[in-house]
Amino acid sequence: MKNIVILISGSGSNMAAIVQAAQQRRWGARFGVQIAAVVSNRADAAGLAWAQDQGIAVAVLDHTTYASRESFDAALQAHLDGYAPALVVLAGFMRILSADFVNHFAGRLINIHPSLLPAFGGLHTHQRAIDMGCQFAGATVHHVTADLDHGPILAQAVVPVLPGDTASALSARVLTQEHLLYPQAIEGWLSRASWV
């Protein structure tokens, strides 16, 4: 079995959608993969308890206990390497990763971002889309590169911006689509993997 490791910082709703898709769509039998672990940089990340309830190994590496971004990333990389991951999935992992980390996992590190990249990389994407008068927003699954939110796009979902939308209302509608898009994008990636 090849391993997928998911990184989270909060509720883990995208992580849960991925785990459920892996079970329901039989990724183990079809692609020879398993969700091997969920790792967080925050001990209070609610998604950890959910993952543990599913029988998935969990771990916390608290970034605040490391002297620098690079030292945290080196420790995280060493921990992940213990799983020899075929794919590392960022699912609400709220850390900007160093170039060394990204390069180490190049081609097997993916993220979901709540905008239609290349528009609105970074934070506050929904409010920025509303402020710019966009008619559409959405989500993007992409390969992670050293340039923040600029890696090659794997999949996108489009969500209309409605009259009178607030950032929180738009965010909720986009998140619903993220939960569908991210597992589909991962499944597409797995279907193209060389070992399948």
The whole-number pLDDT of residue 143 equals 97
The whole-number pLDDT of residue 196 equals 59
**Residue 88 included in any domain:** yes
**Residue 183 included in any domain:** yes
**Residue 32 included in any domain:** yes
Burial class (CB in 10 A: 0-12, 13-18, 19+), 4: buried
Do residues 50 and 92 touch, judged by C-beta distance below 8 A? no
State the 10-residue block means of pLDDT for the chain, 196 residues long.
Answer: 97 98 98 98 97 98 96 98 98 95 97 97 96 98 94 98 97 98 98 82
The owner of tokens 């960022």 is 90
What does pTM read for this prediction?
A: 0.96
The whole-number pLDDT of residue 194 equals 81
Q: Which two tokens stand for residue 34?
A: 């398993």
Checking 170-173 for CB contacts under 8 A at 24+ apart, the result is 170/126, 170/129, 170/130, 170/137, 171/114, 171/126
The whole-number pLDDT of residue 52 equals 97
Provide the number of structural domains found in the chain. Answer: 1
**Residue 152 included in any domain:** yes
Q: What residue numbers bound the domain in which 184 lies?
A: 2-191
Instruction: Provide the CATH number for the domain around residue 106.
Output: 3.40.50.170
The whole-number pLDDT of residue 152 equals 97
**Residue 167 included in any domain:** yes
**Residue 196 included in any domain:** no
DSSP 8-state code for residue 35:
E
Mean pLDDT of the chain: 97
**Residue 185 included in any domain:** yes
The whole-number pLDDT of residue 195 equals 75
- Coil vs helix vs strand at 187: helix
Q: Residue 113 catalytic? A: yes
Question: Residues 63, 113, 142, 143: which is the catalytic one?
Answer: 113
